[in-house]
Structure 1
Amino acid sequence: MKEELQIPIPKYPWAYIPSPLMFAFDEIEKQWIEEDYAYLGPESMRRYINQNLVKVSAYMSPTTSNPDMLKPICRFLLYETYFDDYVEIMPLEEIEALRDRVFEVMTGESVRPDEIGIFRQMEQARKEWIANGMPQFWIERMAKSFWEFITYGIMEESRFKISKTYPTLARFLLIRSRSIGQIAYGNMIDPAVGFALPEDIYQHPAIQRVLFLHAIIIAIQNDFASIRKEMASESDNFNIILLFHHTEHLSFEESLAKAMKLHDDFVTELEEISQCLPDFGAYQKEAENYVYHTKLMVTCLNEWYYISGTKRYEPEGFITPKYGVQGEKPLDFEVKYIRQD
């Protein structure tokens, strides 16, 4: 019998709210995969269909009851995730070319017939957001955040994945807060609630700190949920638990405890900021609602990992990127996730 490795599940002082649209996009997700993601290959397509990824958007936007508002958010979630998987260990010059084309399509250019289907999803999402009343300044903000997700997240992370080395903790947190894609995905709060936060409020240091905190909390949350997969992966070592284990020579149990302590400290800071926001004048309620939804995203995504039935972090969840083979190393232990009291 294999040894059992117990992994604690993060916990939060914020509520989990089930979405009324939990199953609204299951069938259309399969259609999108078949029509626009065939370039990923038949095996990756099959595995994606079993990952329940489209439900992430419903989990993370549980107050949204209008399917038309949630639909482009679902598109965004899928193309952000698929993009990240596709470009793993891709040469940086190729990622740059894709990044720049993504920005053009997201901000208004039409997709050419010969381009891969992910661009059609981006173009259609943009059109749907505009039809739903999202302003151009938000479209540009969202596209810029995605550009930064690729540039300061994926591309910086790739350097360490390719070299199989680890950064310092401070550098890790900077990169991981971007590479998880959550600062970019945080822009989905605006269409989910039907209001685009004005640029001056969005750029306020308090809101920017909230966005960093909710992103890095989700990144560490993800590192706990995906630890088995990453320990078995040939290339994906960018995980805070593995960082502590390898760079500080801690035991695995000590690494888990240190990562959770850091996570909990960030949770405390986010809660403290949310309880003492600046005066945003006429937009105070909107700013408070925005911050409230950053916390909802944290709590509700945490539940998706453990109750949605996703196969993303199991052996059959490995996706083959464009370059290299995403293989699995055998592990001599089983992983069991434990809810904390």
Structure 2
Amino acid sequence: MKPEEYNSKDYLPHGHYPWPDLINPHAEQMGKDMDGWIDNDYTFLTEKQREKYKRMRLHMCTARMWPDLTYEQTIPCNRFMLQYVALDDQVEDSSLEEIQQLRNRCVAILKGAQPKQEENALYQHMALIGDELRALMPEIWVERFIYYFYQSFRYGIELEYPYKIAQRPPSLTLFKTIREYSVLMRPYLIFGEIESGLVLPEHIFEHIVFQKMISHMTLVVAWQNDIHSLPKEMAKGTEVFNLVFVLQQEFNLSLKDACAEAFRIHNEELASGLALHAEYREFGEYQEHVDKFIYYAGVGLQGVNSFYLETERYQHGGAGFAWPEIGNDMKI
């Protein structure tokens, strides 16, 4: 198989997962909101980058992942979708020290520190996200969100860094460990608790079986992302953090065989998560809450897959991606 022959929908078409494929009824207004933020606030990006982010229609990822949010609830979720995607994209060429400084500053702002007037929209919007989430959710949930943001940054983006610099992927075993966090999905998945209105207490949320279910769901999205983003990453030529590339290196596989194996690993991950949820029914009075969490996480997983199939973000040749450009003001 030649790279230009690859099509992710051959592996993960619409409706691939056992949950409904839905869209939030406020999607149109969510798009207007996001375009306004890009045009009016994200001025540290070039005009070309801003246009690309608008064409990605990231608001549809929010709308598809969390179709039952009220309009008020969509605002911080939609704002975070843009903030975190742009942040991850634009630190691609940053040093490890710069990435660590960015993480520390974002966490501090989420905890209540005020952004400086000269700080760009990544920081200004992080403060708004924190305020908006606190208006909707109890502090125990906000602390959970902050911790998952920290985890994804600290053990995802930062642990990828040395391998990206060396342009050499880690072993498959280590890659799977890091990829669970570098896919950045953990803070997004718990938006289902906003949707359901059922906030799990800590002793349930931290239960090892529940955490393992979250790990399986997160890794399903990681493998899904690697399958859909492959055309963009093949075009870059220096990307190493993709399951297909790791499989090619470790087992000397062709592109076709590596893609088939990546799809098998994805399906195995999904089956393991579903089997664990079906078997372990020992959450007592909170079993219904856990079931609701998994349902909303599943709708989100179905939704993000549909978004990947529709967005221009991962086009062949990387034409739809907002690559970092010289002159972007990423400084804190």
Fold in common (TM above 0.5): yes
Residue of structure 2 equivalent to 1:5: 6
1:238 matched residue in structure 2: 241
What letter corresponds to residue 190 of structure 2 in structure 1?
N
Letter of the 2:5 partner, please give it.
Answer: E
Q: Is the 8 A contact 2:11 2:263 kept in 1?
A: no
Contact residue 36 and residue 118 of structure 1 kept, 8 A: no
Q: 1:75 maps to what in 2?
A: 79
1:36 to 31, 35, 41: 41
Question: Is 1:140 matched up with 2:143?
Answer: yes
Q: What is the one-letter code of the residue matched to 2:21?
A: Y
Q: Deviation string for 1:104-153 (max 9, x for gaps)?
A: 11111222111111111111122112222x11121111111111111100
Q: Which of residues 99, 102, 106 is equivalent to 1:102?
A: 106
Please state how far the C-alpha of 1:187 moved relative to its aligned partner. 2.2
Matched-pair contact (CA < 8 Å) for 2:19–2:295: no
> What is the rounded CA distance, in whole Å, between the counterparts of 1:19 and 1:287 in structure 2?
22
Q: Can you give the 5+ residue segments of structure 2 that lack an aligned partner in the other structure?
A: none
The residue aligned with 1:161 is 164
**Code of the aligned partner of 2:233:** E
The corresponding residue for 1:89 is 93
Q: Which amino acid letter does the alignment assign opposite residue 9 of structure 1?
A: Y
Runs of 4+ in 1 over 4 A off after TM superposition: 322-325
Q: Distance in 1 between matches of 2:160 and 2:258?
A: 20
Q: What pairs with 1:133-282 in structure 2 (closer than 5 Å)?
A: 134-282=137-285
| Structure (1 or 2) with the greater strand fraction | 1
Q: Give the CA deviation at 1:286.
A: 1.4
Q: In structure 1, what is the Cα distance between the partners aligned to 2:238 and 2:34?
A: 28
**Cα RMSD (Å):** 1.9
Q: Secondary structure at the match of 1:38?
A: coil
Alpha carbons of 1:322 and 1:209: their partners in 2 closer, same or farther (altered >3 Å)?
Answer: farther
Which residue in the other structure is 2:25 paired with? 20
Write the distance in 1 (CA, Å) between the matches of 2:322 and 2:238. 12
Q: Distance in 2 between matches of 1:247 and 1:323?
A: 35
CA distance in 2 between counterparts of 1:274 and 1:24 reads 35
Task: Give the CA deviation at 1:52.
Answer: 0.6
**C-alpha offsets along residues 138-191 of structure 1, whole Å, 9 cap, x if unaligned?**
111111111111110001112211110011111111111111111121121222
Q: Percent identity?
A: 29
In the aligned structure 2, how far is the partner of 1:282 from the partner of 1:161? 46
**Cα distance change on mapping 1:319 and 1:236 into 2, 3 Å:** farther
Q: 1:55 aligns with which of 28, 53, 60?
A: 60
Deviation at 1:324, TM superposition (A): 10
SS at match of 1:34: helix
Counterpart in 2 of 1:312? 313
Contact 1:160 1:167 in 2 (8 A): yes
The residue that corresponds to 1:285 in the other structure is: 288
**What displacement does 1:75 show?**
0.9
Q: How many Å separate the matches in 2 of 1:5 and 1:128?
A: 41
C-alpha distance in 2, partners of 1:120/1:277? 42
Q: CA separation of 1:56/1:191 partners in 2, compared to 1, >3 Å: closer, same or farther? A: same
Residue 17 of structure 1: SS of its match in structure 2? coil
Cα distance, 1:251–1:324 mapped onto 2, change above 3 Å: farther
SS at 1:24 equivalent: helix
Equivalent-residue separation in structure 2 for 1:75 and 1:5 (angstroms): 32
Q: Distance in 1 between matches of 2:163 and 2:305?
A: 27
Q: 1:252 and 1:140, CA in 2 relative to 1: closer, same or farther beyond 3 A?
A: same
* TM-score normalised by length of structure 1: 0.89
Name the CA shift for 1:120/1:243 in 2 (closer, same or farther; >3 Å). same
- Cα 1:213–1:121 change in 2 (3 A) is same
Higher helix share: 2
- Say if 1:9 and 1:18 are closer, same or farther in 2 by CA, change over 3 A: farther
Would you say how many aligned residue pairs link Structure 1 and Structure 2? 320
